[in-house]
Amino acid sequence: MNNNHQFVAGLLLGALAGTALALYLNSDKGKQFLADFELDTANLKQDVNEHLDEAHESLQDVLAKAKQLVADLEQKMESA
């Protein structure tokens, strides 16, 4: 096959795949799939945000402890 035939074959295959996907997504099962997918992504986003909030709080705690440790060490150095 030369390049023109490969291009046309790829174009037709892409058009066929796009048509099949459009038909599926417009069916009842496809609409249910999209609704489930949207719900799953919303839940995933919420989970990620919760974990990021927890990580931020943990980092703030570690930072506060580190600052206190530095302050304690500075005080010990001054009194030594």
- CA separation (Å) from 41 to 26, 35, 46, 71? 20, 10, 9, 45
**Residues 42, 51: Cα–Cα separation, whole Å:** 14
**Residues 43, 55: Cα–Cα separation, whole Å:** 18
User: Is pTM beyond 0.85 here?
Assistant: no
Query: For residue range 37-63, what is the model confidence (pLDDT) as tens digits?
Result: 999 999 999 999 999 999 999 999 999
In the predicted model, is pLDDT for residue 28 greater than 80?
yes
